[in-house]
Amino acid sequence: MKENSEKEKIMLHARERILKEGFYKITMDEIATRLRISKKTIYKYYRSKDELINDVINEHKKFIETTISEIFNSDSNSVEKLFQMVQFFSQLALRIGENLLNDMRLHKPELWKEIDEFRKNIILANIFRLIEQGKKEGMIVDQPTEILVAIYISAITGVVNPDFIMNNKFSIQQAFNSVFEILMSGIFTPQGNELYKKSNR
């Protein structure tokens, strides 16, 4: 029981700091000092800083996957589901600092590739059936679902990524919200737009 709580304590602290501050300047010594534990205790669970970073990212991905599945598997209509998804990702973006994006861009581009692939798979796994649901409900325009999904993926991967954000001085939240506002207004029917505006009040 003690081992689980120790590891969880290390993970929670590392996740909070890495998401906000990035990982490049954070050291295992510093984490140990902040948590008032020995560095040996950290190495009992994580053989290296890279292993700790990977665990933080994997836990974050699991959290996203679980939450998105709960939203998409609910009994809500398609507009409410999309609104909940936008709210979730918007809040998530607030927790991620520019330092993390910059660290991935400069020091671990392979980590961003992994996150980008995960993001595409999440969209593909859920948005296709959501658009189909929306079309049946009369909330989403009757255009080929494959094209609408491809537009979603292209827009999100093209704008919400380290290079674009760092070069254009947007926050992740600003970039994400702008992309979704544009996408929403383009795919909803008048009825869908009206319902989305009500949800957004």
Give the pLDDT score at 3: 56
Which pTM was predicted?
0.79
**80-89, long-range: CB within 8 Å, 24+ apart, which pairs?**
80/195, 80/199, 81/130, 81/133, 82/130, 82/134, 82/184, 82/196, 83/196, 83/199, 83/200, 86/177, 86/180, 86/184, 89/176, 89/180
Give the pLDDT score at 126: 86
CA distance 126 to 136: 16
Give the pLDDT score at 1: 39
What's the average model confidence in pLDDT over 37-51? 94
What's the average model confidence in pLDDT over 30-40? 94
Using 50, 70 and 90 to split pLDDT, how confident is the model at 201? low
Domains by residue range for the chain, with CATH: 56-199 (1.10.357)
Give the pLDDT score at 93: 78
> What are the tens digits of pLDDT across the range 75-98?
999 989 988 888 888 788 778 888
DSSP state of 169: T
Give the H or E element holding residue 6.
helix 2-21
DSSP state of 188: B
- Which of 46, 42, 12 has the alpha carbon at shortest distance from 30? 42
Q: Which of 13-17, 124-128, 192-196 reaches the highest mean pLDDT?
A: 13-17
Tokens in use for 40? 């040996």
CA angle 45, 61, 86 (to 5 degrees): 150
Give the pLDDT score at 4: 64
> What are the tens digits of pLDDT across the range 117-155?
888 888 888 888 889 999 999 999 999 999 988 888 888
- Which of 201, 52, 192 has the alpha carbon at shortest distance from 134? 192
What's the average model confidence in pLDDT over 98-121? 88
Residue 128, SS3?
helix
Using 50, 70 and 90 to split pLDDT, how confident is the model at 2? low
Tokens in use for 156? 């999100």
